[in-house]
Structure 1
């Protein structure tokens, strides 16, 4: 047990992302809270775990909005296996989903990835359950999908039909889009006309082409070179039919249209969904800026901090809010890589790695919770000492 130091009561916001493979954002925020209180028992810690639209989105929203409900529904997984997936329903009627909960890559064993067949149908079933409960707004985090079907599985679950030249419905998966001839939206769930759909998206890849969904993300979903080409041609065909259906060619090159295997483009075209940066949208849902405005210190963090963090990831988003409020920010990171020093340009006060001695990656990941708690306590002690001078 460490001894509390005497310190001026301070207000600390704990706003971490998940430490992938180690800690959820929710657990990371609680570890930060314990660390701060171990150093300064009189401190007030406000937990605001946050996400950028991927893993941990539902947990982060429910931790920050405790009046919300965690709901579950029986749905189909990316290869049609039955599973139970969850989503959040907030008091204002906003339903928050992670596409990965029903259609995610982590739901499949590495030896059973089937990139041509994987479908987003289960996510559509989850959304249908929320519509039937009367939700008034839909927010979908698009990270972590196993799919490259343009969101057609999701849309099919909501009543849209994807037909070949003979008028027969296509089967599941992105490869089937090579046969797509027309889209019939007349059977869409009637409540979709009343509900705004927003997509949390932090990539700018278009639907198809060399920077598109198949070319960039297909390999991590199990696609070999031949399958990547096949899926890209299928998404090209999808873009052609979207243009014929909507009268616009914008969805072929829409920034973020390639998110979640083309789900961004499919939902933008056929549901009128808006694509927004995930962090900003979730910060708004959780009233993060208001919490930061009344704080003395903000702690944030992630599994690895490097040059990729500057591309709209959580620590930078938190730092930009804190800068507007004039509050210092400290990043506690599982690992620090090349380019992390660029974060100082975002007015981040300091960046600390969690390991406090030489250790293997697996040891650091297994001990992440204790390491994060200790690091948060050390930062709180240092900050309190500066305040008391």
Structure 2
């Protein structure tokens, strides 16, 4: 028997004789507040190894920490790539100095940024929220660091923002100017955009237009209106009714001027209302592409190729419920998995009924809870419980796992 350790999220392989091993793919999300995706993946791999390594051909385990494009995506990508976290000095949503993280792929052609590192609500939670003046300007140094590194593609993970400026702060940091009728530059924040007359792109860093932009976005809200960025997400960023009115009017004006300047109308396009309208300027000016977050991560990590050759797929998250089956990690994993391959979900809690589970194509969903206990207590021993539950699930499914390389259609 040969064992390759799980350092740097590499593969664990057990082989015995000339028999083909059972192949297991492990692709969990983080267990929010309890375990990072990288740690959960290691715990699941240990459980699968213990349950299946005694089979005639042994077991081959591929480990790929996953994420849905929101919080934890940076850690998941860097954990899978085996590349270090990098940092840069920047400012938060209210202009205070802070340090933000970013990362590069092993070949340094792709860079990844979680926008909330610079414009997130948690970074300004110690202050009264400032919905009209909060800015995405702090994302500029992160993007400049990636451009300086020579990347060809920028993966921008958005969500959890404190801003509603339509991404104008980021464009300002890259050299664009947002001007009033008298030619003066508008103050930062979405509250000033009602006075926007013209966008000057002459000073925009040309490198920003030469790279491919892909944005992880899990909402379909348009930029403006009753389902827009200000109306739906503004209140959680401190916006009262009058703030919402002003911010919505500003984003509406921004859409007009972007259309005049670039020929791209972003007003009613799905997803433009995410993260305070951050995708709007990036789409119109830089040609950014929006993708569901889990799909973007799957493409970036080539996850579909990994699950296509698996005999068992294991995934999981903190809470497995109806939302899990609508664009989250579990949904992405089950959809890319061939229909004949069992999918095991290991979760902190399971809130999906038997009929819904059967329709979903998930083979089994198991909670790591060992009995009635508080969330705090569960968090204290989440990793060993993940290992134990994965072990049990693999033992239950072991009889059906015969190495098979037949390719069948993925789940609907």
TM-based fold match above 0.5: yes
- Asked if the contact 2:272/2:279 (under 8 Å) is kept, the reply is yes
* Superposition pairs of residues 227-306 of structure 1, within 5 angstroms: 227-248=243-264, 250-306=265-321
Displacement of 1:343 in angstroms is 4.6
Count of equivalent residues: 380
Equivalent position to 1:24, from 36, 57, 70? 36
Secondary structure of 1:334's partner? strand
Partner of 2:196: 180
Give the Cα–Cα distance (whole angstroms) in 2 for the partners of residues 302 and 256 of structure 1: 25
Give the Cα–Cα distance (whole angstroms) in 2 for the partners of residues 92 and 387 of structure 1: 38
* Superposition pairs of residues 1-389 of structure 1, within 5 angstroms: 9-41=21-53, 42-66=58-82, 68-90=83-105, 91=107, 93-109=109-125, 111-248=127-264, 250-323=265-338, 326-337=340-351, 342-387=356-401
1:48-87 CA-to-partner distances (Å, cap 9, x unmatched) read 1111211111221122222x45322111111122222121
Give the Cα–Cα distance (whole angstroms) in 1 for the partners of residues 50 and 137 of structure 2: 47
Displacement of 1:179 in angstroms is 2.1
- Asked if the contact 1:17/1:314 (under 8 Å) is kept, the reply is yes
Give the Cα–Cα distance (whole angstroms) in 2 for the partners of residues 77 and 340 of structure 1: 45
Higher helix share: 1
68-77 or 178-187: bigger deviation: 68-77
- Asked if the contact 1:53/1:200 (under 8 Å) is kept, the reply is yes
Displacement of 1:345 in angstroms is 2.4
Secondary structure of 2:30's partner? coil
Give the Cα–Cα distance (whole angstroms) in 2 for the partners of residues 110 and 365 of structure 1: 26
- Asked if the contact 1:335/1:354 (under 8 Å) is kept, the reply is yes
Give the Cα–Cα distance (whole angstroms) in 2 for the partners of residues 225 and 333 of structure 1: 39
Give the Cα–Cα distance (whole angstroms) in 2 for the partners of residues 327 and 387 of structure 1: 9
Displacement of 1:117 in angstroms is 2.0
Secondary structure of 2:133's partner? coil
Displacement of 1:386 in angstroms is 4.4
- Asked if the contact 2:366/2:393 (under 8 Å) is kept, the reply is no
Partner of 1:3: none
Displacement of 1:22 in angstroms is 2.0
334-343 or 90-99: bigger deviation: 334-343
Secondary structure of 1:114's partner? coil
Give the Cα–Cα distance (whole angstroms) in 1 for the partners of residues 172 and 133 of structure 2: 15
1:144-198 CA-to-partner distances (Å, cap 9, x unmatched) read 2121111111111111111122212222222121222211111111212321111
Give the Cα–Cα distance (whole angstroms) in 2 for the partners of residues 340 and 236 of structure 1: 45
Give the Cα–Cα distance (whole angstroms) in 2 for the partners of residues 52 and 298 of structure 1: 17
Give the Cα–Cα distance (whole angstroms) in 2 for the partners of residues 111 and 337 of structure 1: 36
Displacement of 1:387 in angstroms is 4.1
Where does the alignment leave 5 or more consecutive residues of structure 1 unmatched?
1-5
Aligned CA RMSD, in angstroms, stands at: 2.2
Secondary structure of 2:213's partner? strand
Displacement of 1:283 in angstroms is 0.7
Give the Cα–Cα distance (whole angstroms) in 1 for the partners of residues 115 and 168 of structure 2: 13
Give the Cα–Cα distance (whole angstroms) in 2 for the partners of residues 330 and 298 of structure 1: 6
Where does the alignment leave 5 or more consecutive residues of structure 2 unmatched?
1-15, 403-412
Q: Report the CA distance shift for 1:166/1:202 in structure 2 as closer, same or farther (over 3 A).
A: same
Give the Cα–Cα distance (whole angstroms) in 1 for the partners of residues 109 and 185 of structure 2: 33
Q: Report the CA distance shift for 1:127/1:344 in structure 2 as closer, same or farther (over 3 A).
A: farther
Give the Cα–Cα distance (whole angstroms) in 1 for the partners of residues 387 and 355 of structure 2: 23
- Asked if the contact 2:30/2:72 (under 8 Å) is kept, the reply is yes
Q: Structure 1-normalised TM-score?
A: 0.91
- Asked if the contact 1:307/1:339 (under 8 Å) is kept, the reply is no
